[in-house]
Each structure stands twice: as C-alpha cells, then as structure tokens.
Chain A
Amino acid sequence: MIIEHILLALSPIMLLTCLVGVTLGILWGAMPGLSTTMAMALLIGLSASMEQYVAIMFMLGVYTGSVFGGAISAVLINIPGTPDAVPTMMEGHPLALKGEGGLALGTAIAASFLGNWVGILLLIAFIPIILLLALQFRSWEMFLLAMWGIAICGSMSAGQQPLKGWISGWIGLLIAFVGLDSIHGVPRYTFGSLILEDGISYVPILIGLFGLTEILRVLPQKSPYAIPTEVGRVVPPFNTLRKYARSAVRSGLIGTVIGAIPGAGANVASFLAYDVGRRRASPEERAKWGKGSYEGIVCAEVANNANVGGSMLPTLTLGIPGNAAAAAILAALELKNVVVGPSIEVEHPGLIYFIYIALIIANFLMYGMAIALVKPCVKLFALPRTLLMPLIIPLCVVGAFAVNQNYVDVYYMFAAGLVGYVLHRFGFPLAPMVLAVILGPLADENLRRSLLVFEDDPWWTMITDHPIGTVLIIVVLFTFYDGIFRRNG
C-alpha cells in the first residue's frame, strides 16, 4: 500500500501537476498583495474537477511554492509578497541594495528548502503519536478540541486584541449553525428559506474572506513600487546555511510547532524565529541584523517553510486546520470525500504516505523552480497590481460556483467578502471565522452527543472519566485567561 502510493506520487502526471502547482504558487506568492491563502481558496474550485490524488498534489504544490514566493518581492522590491516575508524583506532588501540580491535570494531558497525538510520530517515523526492520542478522543474531547482550535486561532491571529479574534470565531459559529441541525433535522436560522436549509458551505466563505475581501481592501489603495533592474546571479549558498545551521534547525522547530497550532501560521512562525534568532545571534552577527543579515533571512525562511509541514499535522490527524491555507486543503479533501481526522489511516489507507511524498516532491521542485523563476518574476513585477487584482474577480465567482454548481454560493461568497471587508476595517481577523465555520458543525454535534451521554451520570464524571477532556478544559480556560489577563495587562 505504501509503495503503491509512493509510486503513484512519482508518476509523470503527478510530477507535472506538482510542477504546475509549485510554479503557480511561486508566481502567485511573489506578487505583492496576492497571499498564499488567497491562492489556496481560489484553487479549491479548480481542484473540484480533478481526480483526488491529482487535486492533493496540485494544492500542496501551490502551498509550498507560494510560501517561498513571498521572499522574491521582499528582497527585490522591498514589498513582501506574503506577510510572512516581512523579516526576509528587512534583511534581504538592504543586501539587494548592496548588489547582493542574488545571494540573498539564493540564501532564501536554500533556507526554504531546508525549512520544508524540517517540517516534513517532524510531520512524519509526529503523525503516528498524534494519531494514537487522537484515537482516544470521544465526543466530549472532540468538542473541546474544536473550541480550543477556534479560541487559540482567535488569540494568535488578532495581535493585542484576542477578544476580536474570538468574536470573529463566534460569528463563524453562528454562520455554521445555519441549516438543518444534524441530530433532529430542525431548521436553524433559515427563516423559512429552503435554500438556507442546506446550510452554508465554507468554500464560498473561504473564497469570499480571502479572495474578495483582499481585492476590496487592496485594489483601492495606491502604492506604486519601483521595478528592480538587476538581480545578480542566484546561487543557493549552502556554505552560508552550514554557518547558520544552529539557527536554521532552531527556526525549523519553531516553524513546525507554530504551524501545528491552529490559527498560528507562517506569519507568527517567521516573526518568532526571526526574533529568537536576533536575540541569540553572536554580537558581530547581531550588528548586521536590520542592515542585511543572512542569518536573519535563514531564520525567517526556514521557519515559514517548516510551517507548511507543521500545519498539516493537526489538519490530517484531528481534522483541525493548522492555518487558513491548511483549511483550504481540508476543503479540497472534503470535496473528494476524504474525511481527515483520527481514523484517516483506516478510512484512507496510504493517503498520509502520499501526502508525505507529495510534500517532498513539491520541496525539490520548489528549489529548482525558485532558481529558474527569479528573473521572470522581476518581469512580472512590471505588471501593476491595479491590472492583476481585478482579474481575480471572475475567478472568485467561478471558484465559489464550481464546487456545488449552485449560484447561491456566489451570493454567499459576495456576502462573505463584504462582511470580511467590514470586519477588516474594524480590526477583526478573518481566519478564526473560517475555522469556526469549518469546526462549528463538529463542535455542535459532539457537544450535544456528549451531554446526552453525561445526562444520567453525576456531573463530575465529566472530569474523572475523561482525563484528556479535563486537560483540554484547562487548555481552553488558559487560552482565554491568557488572552484576557496577560495580553491586556
């Protein structure tokens, strides 16, 4: 079974699919304003018609490519293609100004390659352990896990105001309740509409929040940027990487662990690794930070790429996406009737091995294509954002429609885009809402099931008979406590 899936992943059609995905991802990530999540959300529709494994390979290729792509514009035009490339921009652009742009990008490529490896290896190492643990989860634990996912996502995505992150998540829960309830089939928040009884699919919500909202907020802004004329030779310097091996490994661990926490994505990972790296750098190295430090690039790029593997850990084992991009992968998998979670190895034997190999192939292709695409990307920067962003509008419409072939999803997408725009203007993060729309039905069903089980038992059995659940209660309460008291002083 394992060999079969490895051979499938190595078949020419899969390699070609991955190559297309990685190329598209790098080009997309390199364009300022076009984020990884946006790419992933829009491509769910495209993957709808693909065969299951082709779709997974394609999405993972795009994911891997776009996370690196942000570094290109960060170094060359001082604009991070994706927000997680900000630390790379801080260190890479000063180097580019000194004429070392090629070397800076080469370092970013090598660091990304290494970061992906760290993420993949830790994913392979930890999946069996998490799966073993996850098999012990019953309804009560699944409910608490889902609520912790939404709560931590709110905390991690909202900066100094976790309350806003939680509110965003709670709005998502209300959206998730719309439709027939899963236990009795009672219509909730449908107001007599038969269309609403089907519930609101999270794919149009994802496309609206991360596609249309981005267009609405970025397109009206005016931010011209200068086009670089000279890049220099792009050679990934593995000697430089060896020099900073300790920082690289540490950043890889940070990136993977952060990736595994729902809501904490590549942005948190790259900033945290960058910050830790700066504090731990030798005095002579530290003097270079902020003025063009190769070590800074290594820390940021290793961490944000290791995040890819890390984010797949909760996604595959618990069905809880590690970040918004992983939520898009989850949506693509569900479209193919692949239900991820504790029983993934039983219900879809071999799939996990396919995903490991897909990530490894995507990493190798990312390395090659990154070197090949740097110069074409410079030409791509000549295309104004005011030309590129409008072209995404029809893609949002097709993406939302394609999944269920139902035009009402396009209206949901538009409504989600508007709500996302308003929430963004008021400083609310959007990722918790998406996570809550995905996890809401899971939390609702499991809460009611577990309460039914507990109905005839004394209330303390909820704690005494469920040690994992008790740990999760403490974790949820700590998440709220930390958000309310520690951050807000």
Chain B
Amino acid sequence: MTSETQPDGEDASLKKAVFTGEEGGDERATPESDLAAAAALAVLAVAAVFFAVQLEVPGSIWTAPGLFPIATGVSLLAMAAGLALKAHRNGANLRFNKRRRWLVTFFTDEENRRGGILIVIIAAYILAVDWLGFDWRHDTGFVVLRFSSYELFSIIALTGVLRIFWQATWTRCFVVSTAWALALAAVFRLGFHILLPGSG
C-alpha cells in the first residue's frame, strides 16, 4: 500500500488533525479579511434596517412586519462592529499598498483563477439553459426520445470544465459529458418522472 498523501482540503482539521469547530474556518481568515467582511456586513445590516423601517404597519406595532428584521439588522450591525473590533485588536492593517498587494496576489493565485473560470462557466451554463431553452422530441413508437437545452448545455459546460480541470483530451471529455448528461436526463425524466429545466 502506498501513501504519499496529504489530507485534502484547506480545513485545519484535515491538515493538522486538530478540531476547529464543526466547519472550522479560523485558518482561512486574516485580520484584514475580517475587517473587510465587517464593513460589508455593516452595509448589509444598515440596508436591512433601512428597508425594514419603511415597511407598512397594518396592525399593532408588536405584529409589525419590520419588527424582527429591524432587530436582526441592528444586532447584525453590532456583530459587524464586534468583528471589526476583533480584527483591529488582531492587528488588521488596511493600508493602500498592502491592499493592492492582496488584490494582485488574489488574482494571480492559480487556485483563485481556476475558481473564477469555474464560476463563469457555471453562470453561463445556467443562463443558457434558461434563455436558450428548447425541447426536441422524436416519437419512435416505443419511446419518446427527447433532447432539451438542459442536455445540450450540460454537455457543453461539462466538456469545458472537464477539459480545464481533468485535463483529458477533448474527445474523452466530450464522451464522458455526453454519457453523463444523457444518463442523468434519462434517470430523472424516465425513471423518476421529474421535469428537467429547459424542457418544460
């Protein structure tokens, strides 16, 4: 048996075999990222309160639709302040040069770039299934063969993703994608009678 392996993932629990909570997360954050998160959360909290205050109050103040959202927004703002304070205590530094360096590092990091490409492909795939929907049917007398935008764009998107990440030949990626997309469609459509997106 061979084992040149390292535990996968970036969870500290997997790398160091140290428990860091059900999901961990401490190791991924820096004081700077915590400070940035706190700022974004503060904006979200203020917006939540702003829109909740404007909601109409049809009955008693105690049943007002905005009551709980306001309380949630205010407490979220307090939590954002707490996160910012903690980040500051941990030495958060948002000097411009450091921030620019962080941005440059973020976009030149290969893992981030690959992640970005993946997001773009999935977004294009989801939009294409919706916007370019079609449903081709052919009755063989025995069974109705169907091919919809879900299968087509699943094949195209999967071929692209497999080519980038699996790095097999285009032909292999296409064959695997086609087999998988058609099998999935058959299982859901014929086996479980579940309508597929894009096919109505």
Contact = CB atoms under 8 A, between A and B. Distances in A.
Contacts of B139: none
Contact of B26 (A159, A390, A407): A159
Contact of B44 (A48, A171, A410, A447): A171
Contacts of A184: 58-59, 63, 65
B16 to A, nearest CB: 10
A185 to B, nearest CB: 9
A448 B115 contact: no
A446 B197 CA distance: 36
Nearest to A79: B8
B172 to A, nearest CB: 10
Interface residues of A, number: 111
Contacts of A48: 194
A115 interface: no
Nearest to A455: B62
Nearest to B51: A189
B135 interface: no
A146 B68 CA distance: 13
B28 A93 contact: no
A174 B79 CA distance: 14
A170 B72 contact: yes
Nearest to A223: B8
B1 A156 contact: no
Contacts of A467: none
B5 A167 contact: no
A51 to B, nearest CB: 11
A69 interface: no
Given A49-B194, A90-B17, A390-B161, A225 B9 contact: no
A57 to B, nearest CB: 15
Contacts of A78: 3, 5-7
Interface string B75-86: 110011011001
Contact of A448 (B2, B6, B25, B67): B67
A427 B63 contact: no
Interface string A213-246: 0011111111111111111000000000000000
Contacts, number: 291
Interface in A57-103: 76-80, 83, 86-87, 89-90, 93, 96-97, 99, 101
Contacts of A225: 5, 8
A5 B14 CA distance: 41
A86 B29 contact: no
B160 to A, nearest CB: 9
Count class of interface residues, chain B: 35 or more
Q: Which one of A45, A156, A166, A170 has the highest number of Cβ atoms from chain B below 10 Å of its Cβ?
A: A170
B126 A386 contact: no
A391 B180 contact: yes
A397 B44 CA distance: 28
A319 interface: no
B167 interface: yes
Interface string B122-138: 11011001100000000
Interface in A399-440: 401-402, 405, 407, 410-411, 414, 417-418, 421, 424-431
Nearest to A275: B19
B69 A177 contact: yes
A41 to B, nearest CB: 15
Interface stretch (A118-126, A128-136, A262-270): A262-270
A387 interface: yes
A267 B196 contact: no
Contacts of B181: 394
Given A427-B33, A448-B68, A229 B2 contact: yes
B122 A268 contact: no
B129 to A, nearest CB: 7
B118 A220 contact: yes
B103 interface: no
A444 B52 CA distance: 13
B55 A410 contact: no
A271 interface: yes
B60 interface: yes
A384 interface: yes
B68 A229 contact: no
A424 B25 contact: yes
Contact of A229 (B1, B192, B197): B1
A164 B83 contact: yes
Contacts of B23: 157-159, 267, 429-431
Contacts of A183: 59, 63, 65
Contact of B21 (A79, A156, A212, A425): A156
A77 to B, nearest CB: 6
A398 B56 CA distance: 38
Interface string A153-185: 000111111011111001101100100010110
Given A86-B13, A444-B68, 4 more contacts: A164-B25, A188-B55, A407-B197, A429-B24
- A-B interface, 8 closest residue pairs, ranked by CB to CB distance from nearest: A159-B21, A427-B29, A220-B114, A429-B23, A427-B25, A451-B62, A159-B20, A271-B19
6 contacts: A33-B8, A163-B86, A170-B76, A216-B115, A222-B111, A429-B23
